[in-house]
Structure 1
Amino acid sequence: MSADRQPKSAEIVVANAVKVFGTGTAAVAALQDISTTVPEGQFLCLLGPSGCGKSTLLNAIAGFTPLTDGRITMGGKVVTQPGPDRGMVFQEYALFPWMTVEDNVRFGLDIKGVPKPEATIAVDRIVATLGLSDFRKRYPKDLSGGMRQRVAIARILALDPPVMLMDEPFGALDALTRRTLQDELLRIWSEYRKTIVFVTHSIEEAIYLADRILVMTYRPGRIKRDVNVPMPRPRDPASQDFNAIKRELGALVMEEQQRFTNAELHAPAVD
């Protein structure tokens, strides 16, 4: 790498990534020869139907799933395991039910050994940023799904990782709550300028959020199309430009959905 092209701390580079689960006749290729770069501060969406390897790629970037071949680097360092430079938000809220909102948000800071006064300042700031101040003494069971997901995002933001990895975090929410949290996420991204890799199967969500969208193929997962979204924010889903991109992506995703359907129809029966 040349001296004038040093990797930035939150730049992600995926080089010839391959992931195969199982061996022999039971082997399943989840990812095949994926190469891409996510520049620091970019909002990237991984889009595609079930079985296209979106979550597998995200988990490989997180360091949860080792690649079979190829490599992933962040800031020039090879990813071999999870690290504090990457925060993960799951579709399931993954909160500790016996902890209050503020204790859930503080948890990672306590594990890192952050001094209590410093941790309190960080928690207060993040709780206020996400509109959780009135709920800080509540337990997860007392919160709506949308509020629980706010807490999950707050817990990651409190750790201040340069990269946020999000696996369909709004998939289980109703449409109104989903849009509210999408807008909240864009506000946070604009303020903190994290690098975000966001998995979704919703075409409209991908266009609404992303700078760039990678459409993935049905198994084995490859990059079918790399689409830039040049529209300024905020984006109007009713606009002509929005719907032109939606039609383009819809055709690409439906091709892969049909491949998935055909594969399921012709799969051998299992006793």
Structure 2
Amino acid sequence: MSAASIQIQDVNKIFASDDREVVALKDINLEIASGQFVCLLGPSGCGKSTLLNAIAGFSLPSSGTIAADGKVVSGPGPERGMVFQEYALFPWMTVEKNIAFGLEIKGQSKAQIEQTVSTLLQKLGLSDFRQRYPKDLSGGMRQRVAIARVLALDSPILLMDEPFGALDALTRRSLQDELLRIWSELGKTVIFVTHSIEEAIYLADRIIVMTYRPGTIKRDMLIDLPRLRDPASAEFNALKRELGMLVMEEQQRHQQAEMVAAAVD
């Protein structure tokens, strides 16, 4: 296995809520190898996005340390690119300008920017849309632009917070295949948050199942199915049943906790 791209040691995250504290993450310890595709899986409230935001440097741990490519995370950094579920595009900029924005901030030359943008437009099937504005694009096309904008910065680590969650099934599968192709070509380390068991199995080398609050690691599972994976295969569905039981246990804990909280109120 490659050297660790991300090291998470004894990470805890506590949020203050009214007159009490909420433990969102507890005793998280993970090493993620360079070039690995990892999915964080679990029900709402298990801390998946909280952990991703901590890795991104947007919301640092209350205790413990996170290191990316050997450097302790103390805030956002260029080695970690983030793709959100909301497309986060500039509506007043064309597709081309949205992708180029980060490169302009970095001070790259016009020739370098043009080459990078043109390559990514072609790679993501956006060449015919370079002069369009986000309002003129479908949800799937907007997400392609958001991914291209992050790829333009050439960050070795790609963080993705349910980027396909709002898309229809066919568009979602198309973008999953596109992401796998890009990951295979570019060798990025990907950490991908999802609620979907099928999506996690389809994409990941490794699935981290998290518990309902406080978020801990319930199961760390390597997925060795050959790619491209067939969701109709017996092996795929065996994994789906196993992971489904793990996630459902945490979903039931979530529901029970909500019932208790409602009764107290």
| Normalised TM-score (structure 1) | 0.95
1:116-175 C-alpha deviation (Å, 9 max, x unpaired): 111110000011100000000000000000000000000001110000000000000000
Q: 1:185 aligns with which of 159, 176, 179?
A: 179
Q: Does the alignment pair 1:245 with 2:257? A: no
**Corresponding position: 1:53 with 2:47:** yes
Partner of 1:134: 128
Structure 2: segments with no counterpart, 5+ residues: none
Q: What is the Cα deviation at residue 269 of structure 1?
A: 6.1
C-alpha displacement at 1:23, in angstroms? 6.8
* Aligned equivalents of 1:82, 1:177: Cα separation in 2: 30
- Alignment partner of 1:43 out of 13, 26, 37: 37
Tell whether 2:229 aligns with 1:209.
no
| Correspondence for 1:122 | 116
Distance 1:103 1:30 in 2: 38
Match of 1:69 among 44, 48, 63: 63
Does the alignment pair 1:97 with 2:107? no
Alpha-carbon separation, structure 2, partners of 1:85 and 1:248: 34
| Cα shift readout 1:68-101 (whole Å, capped 9, x = no counterpart) | 1111001221101000100000000000000000
2:157 is aligned with 1:163: yes
Q: Does 1:148 align with 2:148?
A: no
* Paired residue secondary structure (1:22): strand
2:169 maps to a residue whose letter is A
Amino acid at match of 1:112: K
One-letter identity of the residue aligned with 1:151: V
Deviation by residue 1:217-251 (Cα, 9 ceiling, x = unmatched): 00000000001100010000000110010000000
Partners of 1:269 and 1:213 in 2: how far apart? 35
Q: Which letter maps to 2:16?
A: G
Q: Which residue of 1 aligns with 2:82?
A: 88
Q: Which runs of 5+ in 1 are unaligned?
A: none
TM alignment of 1:4-23, pairs within 5 A: 8=3, 11-22=5-16
- Whole-Å Cα distance in 1 between the matches of residues 199 and 17 of structure 2? 36
Whole-angstrom distance in 2 between the partners of 1:25 and 1:76: 38
1:266 maps onto 2:260 in alignment: yes
Kindly report the root-mean-square deviation, in angstroms, between the aligned alpha carbons of the 2 structures.
1.5
- Give the deviation of 1:34 after TM superposition: 0.4
Query: Percent of counterpart pairs with the same letter?
Result: 68
User: For residues 263 and 115 of structure 2, what CA distance do their matches in structure 1 show?
Assistant: 58
State how far apart, in whole Å, the 2-side matches of 1:120 and 1:24 are.
50
Residues 25-67 of structure 1: CA distance to partner in whole angstroms, max 9, x if unpaired? 4210000000010100000000000000000000000000111
**Could you tell which deviates more after superposition, 101-110 or 70-79?**
70-79
How far apart in 2 are the matches of 1:227 and 1:25?
Answer: 37
SS for the counterpart of 2:193 is strand
TM-score (norm 2): 0.97
Q: 1:254 aligns with which of 236, 248, 259?
A: 248
